[in-house]
């Protein structure tokens, strides 16, 4: 297995980190990973270790404001910034692996990013897997709360609003501990702007 990494110019002039794991010999196919909220592409080594020996070239990128990429942590001006950056990266990967069937794996918020990307780019991929997609507001969320999130996203867009529960990552305590101990995982509160942007762009919210 070969590991490569680097940066590319993303939306709004940000340096976006990417990495890939290549099998020995010619890849049979490509798997692109779209990671979840507050984490990064390096947290999917279980996927890498499974698929790379099977001949897949696995590619991942850290979102704007995530992992090793530029930007205020878990903040985005527009949710489309994630989608447009993914589009740039997909084009790059296709240039590196011409003619190879490509599959997109999106988890949690990454599944939402993937779903919105697929609306206009289905013909660029051979398939997609959406794991735990963030496409629905919890049923106990009141309209007043949603209105307050919208207001804060305008007045105080970078203020921390919601705290992710580390225990919700997995039932396995070792996985939870690895998540908490990972210096590239953001364990603070999600900004008001990103919270509102997720609400506004999730298909079930429209």
Structure tokens at 183: 């210096």
In the predicted structure, residue 150 carries a pLDDT above the cut 80: yes
Q: What span, in angstroms and rounded, lies between the C-alpha atoms of 185 and 35?
A: 11
CA 202 → CA 38, 64, 69, 136, distances in Å? Answer: 17, 18, 24, 7
Average pLDDT for 79-104:
96
Q: What span, in angstroms and rounded, lies between the C-alpha atoms of 118 and 125?
A: 9
pLDDT digits (tens, 9 = 90+) for 30-63: 999 999 999 999 999 999 999 999 999 999 999 9
Asked if residues 201 and 84 have their Cβ atoms less than 8 Å apart, the reply is no
Mean pLDDT, the chain, rounded, equals 90
Average pLDDT for 138-164:
80
- Please tell me the number of Cα atoms within 13 Å of 33 on its side-chain side: 26
Of the ranges 29-43, 116-130, 164-178, 179-193, which one carries the lowest mean pLDDT score? Answer: 164-178
Q: How crowded is residue 89: how many other Cβ atoms within 10 Å of its Cβ?
A: 19
Domain CATH for 175: 3.40.50.1820
3-state secondary structure of 189: strand
In the chain, the number of structural domains is 1
Average pLDDT for 1-7:
97
Q: Which domain holds residue 29?
A: 2-205
DSSP code string of 106-148: EETHHHHHHHHHHHHHGGG-SEEEEES---S--TT--HHHHHH
Asked if residues 117 and 86 have their Cβ atoms less than 8 Å apart, the reply is yes
pTM (whole model) above 0.85: yes
Average pLDDT for 17-32:
97
Pick the most confident of 4-8, 143-147, 154-158: 4-8
In the predicted structure, residue 178 carries a pLDDT above the cut 90: no
What is the Rg, in whole angstroms, of the alpha carbon atoms belonging to the chain? Answer: 17
What's the pLDDT score for residue 139? 56
What's the pLDDT score for residue 164? 78
Structure tokens at 134: 């963030």
Of the ranges 52-56, 164-168, 176-180, which one carries the lowest mean pLDDT score? Answer: 164-168
3-state secondary structure of 197: helix
What's the pLDDT score for residue 140? 57
pLDDT band at 136 (very low <50, low <70, confident <90, very high): low
């Amino acid at each position: 297995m070969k590991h490569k990494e680097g940066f590319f110019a993303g939306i709004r002039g940000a340096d976006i980190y990417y990495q890939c794991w290549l099998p020995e010999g010619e890849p049979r196919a490509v798997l692109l990973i779209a990671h979840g909220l507050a984490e990064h592409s390096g947290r999917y080594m279980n996927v890498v270790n499974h698929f790379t020996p099977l001949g897949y070239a696995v590619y991942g990128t850290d979102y704007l404001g995530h992992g090793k990429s530029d930007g205020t942590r878990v903040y985005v001006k527009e949710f489309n910034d994630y989608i447009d950056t993914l589009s740039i990266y997909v084009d790059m990967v296709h240039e590196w692996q011409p003619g190879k069937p490509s599959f997109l794996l999106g988890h949690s918020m990454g599944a939402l990013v993937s779903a919105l990307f697929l609306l206009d780019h289905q013909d660029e991929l051979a398939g997609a897997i959406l794991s735990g997609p963030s496409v629905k507001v919890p049923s106990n969320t009141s309209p007043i709360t949603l209105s307050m999130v919208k207001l804060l996203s305008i007045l105080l867009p970078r203020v921390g609003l919601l705290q992710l529960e580390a225990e919700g990552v997995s039932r396995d305590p070792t996985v939870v501990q690895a998540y908490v101990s990972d210096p590239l995982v953001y364990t603070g509160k999600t900004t008001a702007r990103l919270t509102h942007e997720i609400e506004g762009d999730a298909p079930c919210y429209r």
